[in-house]
């Protein structure tokens, strides 16, 4: 069956092999087929089984009773099984039985993650290792039953797969290659180290190198070549849409909406009606400020100057009005968790009629909103906060570029075209500046890591990569969104509401000490170590504008914990905020929608407004871990997509020279990032012909044994593009050597 076309599109891997030096007190020979069946049967049954019952359930003839008896006797002697009665057997002390998910490496070996067991099992500090032979027929992502038979000296368990309890992905993306006139597919994800022999329809449409979607059919006796059915021909892998589908398949991203969801959305009324309890703010001069390419506008702002300071209106699209808890639409939005943004494309959390129309705060259209009204004094201190559902009508759609021209560049043409907005924009600038100063004073960490902006051509291929511009207009909107988010979180804390916070915990002392040692190895005179955000800010200020700025920003960021969602308020370390949540982007983030619902319930109770209880099956506490995980998947997918496009962008630039910074060093390679293109790649030590280089781990550098030349993390240099591997999405460089045999240094 051909898959329906989608219409909703708007450094090195760690090798966790066990260390040498095995525990020789344990020996292991691979389990026979009969042993696998018996152990699987005993694990999956909750009660001990009689030998006759085992014989019956495995469907063995009576003639095989003796081999089974011998096996049961041996396993009982090894204490893998326990003989409870004459022929009654259960799990023994050394059963080693557990279940988990296979994380396979492209080289064939793997690990068992998420280890659990219904039986008593020791706590292991590391994931069990699976050798290629002990992987058997299991594949990456499969849920498997394993037997742990050994633990190495470094604490790594070793296991063998007994059975596949549940197959992972049955549908894969890959690339076509012709062998003896027959099409084979190599999975695009290298964690599936096999080929798939195709059958079915659509074969006549295939060409060498095409990207395709295939379904794996049944089981195969050959683990290196499976059978499969061709589901869809995607076409040229150089197309951004084809790469997008490959990323979708690799990360199992939901990308089409069900007919029921689309029917629910189609039935939503587009009428905007003033009702009791909803503030009419259509006379307030709200404006939106976004990028030139933005399509969904979920926040609008207005600033008034008062006798004592400023009044800030932050009005956010009222998605909760349209997305009711427990509806099919709500369930699909929750399963996605967030919109995912690719260059020129988006996988939206909500169908387009909501995200780009009914919920989008487009100019000159009445829209439902949820408004935070915040009063500040002249120095930017919050004096009062109130929240209400509202109706607004945005008066203007500004871009960051235009606001920058008006407020910072004082462009006369731009100012002349927007005279009626000059005063409120001036007030907004004044308030944002005060808020920024206060945030900096309390120690909020200001990382300065440039981001790439990718432009696509008419055929959907990457045309250029440049530094994403960030100006004061971006900062202005960011300050207002931060202020609204903090005000909502403070309300949760003050009234003990069961809301979802956005928390960012303190970095571990070990991570900070590791960074300090690294900084000193680079010759940085670091300030006395303190476990507060201000210390990080001082370090960043020390390297600002220096060649080491990029590397130090990245390394400090890596030392940080990941921000996440939780009902327990642990504060936000990076922002130096005691209370923080996400309130301002419900069109593209489900946590914000949850925050709106919590806040609205509180407002209704405080004003004694009774509404019909809305059904939902998911607690806010359970939402935190799930939505945090969905966010991490989205970030990984976006990074994956960007890397793919960068590789294809570089494909025709072999031989060209670029300015780069060393972003990583190990015993086999130097990793660099190009300064202007934000493209990463590696320099193999085998390409360094001028000397024999030794890895100095303590100082994060390579040193030439004979000439003493070094390559250290943070160094600038000129590199040439050696090769591009489109299949594995890798880029290879070499340092450029001048006529006097010295490595060129970037300036």
Tell me the fold of 33-166: OB fold (Dihydrolipoamide Acetyltransferase, E2P) (2.40.50)
Instruction: List, in sequence order, the alpha helices (H) in 173-315.
Output: 240-251, 259-266
Condensed to tens digits (0 to 9), the pLDDT of residues 500-509 reads: 999 999 999 8
pTM of this prediction? Answer: 0.86
Give the pLDDT of residue 154: 87
Among 518-532, 578-592, 693-707, the least confident range: 518-532
Residue 627 pLDDT greater than 50, yes or no: yes
Say whether pLDDT at 746 is over 80: no
At 57 the pLDDT is 86
Q: What confidence tier does 1 reach under pLDDT thresholds 50, 70, 90?
A: very low
Overall average pLDDT of the 476-480 stretch? 97
Q: Say what the pLDDT of residue 260 is.
A: 97
d(CA 571, CA 563): 10
Has residue 25 got a pLDDT over 50?
no
- Phi/psi-derived region of residue 82, left when phi > 0, alpha when psi is between -120 and 50, beta in every other case: beta
pLDDT at res. 29: 61
Which pLDDT score is estimated for 732? 96
* pLDDT tens column, 47-64: 898 888 888 888 777 777
Q: What is the pLDDT of residue 28?
A: 58
Greater confidence (538 vs 303) lies with 303
- Asked whether the domain spanning 651-735 has the same topology as the one spanning 171-251, the reply is yes
**Between residues 608 and 225, which one has the greater pLDDT?**
225
Q: Which residue has the higher pLDDT, 46 or 578?
A: 578
Q: Is a pLDDT exceeding 90 seen at residue 727?
A: no
pLDDT of residue 323 exceeding 70: yes
Q: Is 468 helix (H, G, I), strand (E, B) or coil?
A: coil
Least confident of 143-147, 353-357, 534-538, 639-643: 534-538
pLDDT at 643 over 80: yes
Q: Is 399 exposed, middle or buried (0-12, 13-18, 19+ CB in 10 A)?
A: middle
d(CA 286, CA 398): 11
Counting residues of the chain whose pLDDT is more than 90, the rounded percentage is 60
The lowest-confidence range among 107-121, 307-321, 423-437 is: 107-121
What average pLDDT does this structure show over 161-170?
92
Residue 629 pLDDT > 80, yes or no?
yes
- As a whole number, the mean pLDDT across the chain is 89
- Would you state the pLDDT for residue 18? 43
Kindly give the residue spans of alpha helices, DSSP state H, lying in 348-466. Answer: 352-353, 400-407, 412-417, 422-441
CA distance 315 to 395: 13
- Nearest Cα to 258, choosing from 346, 332, 319? 332
Which pLDDT does position 319 carry in this prediction?
98
Pairwise pLDDT comparison (176 vs 12), residue with the higher score: 176
How far apart, in whole angstroms, are the C-alpha atoms of residue 130 and residue 610? 58
Candidate from 57-66, 78-87, 192-201, 232-241 with smallest mean pLDDT: 57-66
10-24, 602-616, 721-735 — which one is most confidently predicted on average?
Answer: 721-735
Residues of the chain with pLDDT > 70: what percent?
93
Please, which residues have CB within 8 angstroms of residue 120's CB and are 6 or more apart in sequence? none
Q: Identify which has the larger pLDDT, 489 or 685.
A: 489
User: 500 or 296: which carries more pLDDT confidence?
Assistant: 500
Rounded-to-integer distance, Cα 165 and Cα 101, Å = 10
Residue-wise pLDDT for 666-683, tens only, equals: 989 999 999 888 899 999
**pLDDT category of residue 609 using cuts at 50, 70 and 90:** low
Q: How far apart are CA 710 and CA 702, in angstroms?
A: 5
Q: Which letter does DSSP use for residue 338 in this model? A: B
Give the pLDDT score at 398.
Answer: 97
Q: Say what the pLDDT of residue 26 is.
A: 40
Torsion angle of C-alpha atoms 616, 618, 621, 625, degrees rounded to 10: -140
Q: What is the C-alpha separation between 245 and 9, in angstroms, rounded?
A: 10
In angstroms, the CA 194 to CA 169 distance is 14
pLDDT tens digits, residue range 410-459?
Answer: 999 999 999 999 999 999 999 999 999 999 999 998 887 778 888 888 87
CATH architecture designation of domain 171-251: Beta Barrel (2.40)
pLDDT grade, residue 24 (50/70/90)? very low
Q: Which residue has the higher pLDDT, 278 or 59?
A: 278
- Report the length, in residues, of the chain: 747
CA distance 661 to 643: 18
Burial class (CB in 10 A: 0-12, 13-18, 19+), 364: exposed
> How many whole angstroms separate alpha carbon 697 and alpha carbon 701?
7
pLDDT the model gives residue 616 = 54
pLDDT (average), residues 323-331: 96
| 425 vs 305: CA distance, rounded Å | 11
d(CA 167, CA 101): 10
Residue 648 reports pLDDT greater than 80: yes
Q: Taking the domains of the chain in order of start, what are their residue ranges?
A: 33-166, 171-251, 274-289+298-396+434-504+567-635, 509-547, 651-735
Mean of pLDDT values over 276-295: 94
pLDDT at 14 over 70: no
pLDDT-derived band at 126 (thresholds 50, 70, 90) equals very high
Q: Is pLDDT larger for residue 434 or for residue 714?
A: 434
CA distances (Å), origin 460, targets 238, 291, 296, 724? 9, 20, 21, 20
Please tell me the distance from the alpha carbon of residue 660 to that of residue 746, in angstroms, as a whole number: 7
739 vs 661 pLDDT, higher one: 661
Six token digits for residue 689 = 């012909």
Look up the CATH architecture of domain 651-735.
Beta Barrel (2.40)
Q: Please say if the pLDDT value at position 582 is more than 50.
A: yes
Q: Which of 399-403, 568-572, 727-731 is the least confident region?
A: 727-731
Phi, psi of 743 (to 5 degrees): -65, 130
Residue pair 452/468 in contact by the 8 Å Cβ criterion: yes
């Amino acid at each position: 069956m051909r898959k329906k076309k989608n219409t909703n599109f708007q450094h090195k891997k760690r090798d966790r092999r066990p260390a040498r030096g095995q525990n020789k007190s344990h020996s292991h020979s691979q389990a026979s087929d009969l042993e696998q069946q018996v152990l699987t049967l005993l694990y999956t049954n909750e009660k001990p089984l009689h030998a006759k019952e085992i014989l019956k359930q495995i469907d063995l003839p009576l003639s095989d009773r003796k081999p089974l008896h011998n096996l049961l006797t041996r396993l009982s002697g090894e204490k893998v099984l326990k003989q409870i009665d004459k022929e009654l057997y259960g799990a023994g002390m050394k059963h080693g039985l557990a279940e988990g998910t296979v994380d396979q490496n492209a080289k064939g070996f793997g690990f068992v993650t998420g280890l659990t067991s219904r039986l008593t099992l020791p706590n292991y500090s590391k994931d069990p290792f699976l050798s290629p032979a002990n992987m058997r027929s299991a594949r990456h992502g499969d849920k498997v039953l394993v037997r742990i038979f050994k633990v190495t000296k470094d604490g790594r368990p070793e296991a063998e797969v007994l059975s596949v309890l549940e197959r992972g992905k049955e549908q894969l993306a890959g690339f076509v290659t012709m062998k003896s006139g027959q099409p084979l597919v190599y999975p695009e994800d290298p964690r599936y180290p096999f080929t798939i022999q195709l059958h079915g329809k659509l074969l006549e449409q295939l060409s060498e190198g095409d990207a395709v979607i295939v379904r794996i059919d049944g089981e195969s006796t050959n683990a290196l070549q499976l059978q499969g059915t061709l589901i869809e021909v995607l076409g040229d892998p150089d197309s951004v849409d084809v790469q997008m589908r490959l990323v979708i398949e690799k990360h199992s991203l939901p990308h089409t909406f069900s007919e029921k969801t689309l029917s629910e959305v189609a039935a939503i009324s587009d009428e905007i009606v003033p009702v009791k309890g909803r503030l009419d703010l259509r006379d307030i001069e709200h404006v939106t400020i976004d990028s030139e390419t933005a399509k969904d506008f979920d926040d609008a702002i207005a600033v008034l100057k008062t006798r004592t300071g400023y009044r800030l209106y932050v009005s956010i699209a009222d998605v909760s009005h349209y997305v009711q808890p427990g509806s099919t639409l709500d369930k699909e939005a929750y399963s996605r968790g967030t919109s995912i943004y690719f260059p020129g494309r988006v996988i939206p959390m909500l169908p387009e009629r909501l995200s780009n129309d009914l919920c989008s705060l487009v100019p000159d259209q009445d829209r439902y909103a949820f408004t935070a009204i915040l009063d500040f004094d002249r120095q930017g201190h919050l004096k009062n906060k109130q929240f209400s559902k509202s109706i607004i009508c945005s008066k203007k759609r500004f871009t960051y570029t235009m606001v920058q021209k008006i407020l910072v560049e004082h462009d006369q043409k731009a100012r002349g075209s927007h005279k009626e907005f000059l005063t409120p924009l001036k007030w907004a600038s004044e308030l944002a500046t005060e808020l920024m100063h206060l945030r900096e004073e309390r120690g909020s960490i200001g990382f300065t890591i440039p981001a790439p902006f990718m432009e696509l051509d008419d055929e959907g291929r990457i045309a250029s990569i440049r530094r994403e511009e960030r100006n004061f207009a971006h900062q202005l909107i960011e300050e207002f969104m931060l202020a609204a988010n903090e005000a909502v979180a403070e309300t949760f804390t003050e009234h003990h509401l069961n809301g979802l916070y956005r928390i960012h915990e303190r970095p571990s002392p070990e991570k900070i000490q590791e960074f300090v040692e690294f900084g000193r190895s680079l010759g940085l005179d670091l300030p006395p170590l303190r476990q507060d955000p201000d210390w990080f800010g001082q370090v960043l200020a020390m390297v600002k504008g220096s060649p080491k700025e990029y590397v130090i920003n990245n390394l400090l960021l890596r030392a940080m914990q990941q921000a996440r969602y939780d009902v327990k308020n642990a504060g936000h370390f990076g922002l130096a905020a005691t209370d923080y949540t996400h309130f301002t982007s419900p069109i593209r983030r489900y946590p914000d929608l949850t925050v709106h619902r919590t806040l609205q319930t509180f407002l209704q109770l405080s004003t004694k407004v009774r509404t019909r209880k809305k059904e939902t099956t998911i607690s806010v506490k359970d939402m935190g871990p799930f939505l945090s995980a969905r966010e991490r998947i989205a970030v990984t997918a976006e990074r994956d997509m960007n890397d793919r496009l960068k590789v294809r962008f570089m494909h025709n630039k072999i031989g060209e020279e670029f300015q780069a910074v060393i972003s990583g060093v190990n015993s086999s390679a130097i990793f660099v990032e190009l300064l202007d293109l934000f493209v990463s790649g590696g320099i193999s030590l085998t390409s360094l012909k001028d000397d024999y280089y030794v890895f100095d781990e303590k100082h994060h550098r390579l040193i030439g044994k004979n000439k003493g030349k070094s390559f250290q993390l943070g160094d600038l240099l000129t590199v040439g593009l050696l090769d591009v591997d489109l299949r594995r999405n890798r880029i290879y460089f070499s340092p450029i050597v001048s006529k006097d045999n010295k490595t060129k240094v970037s300036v």
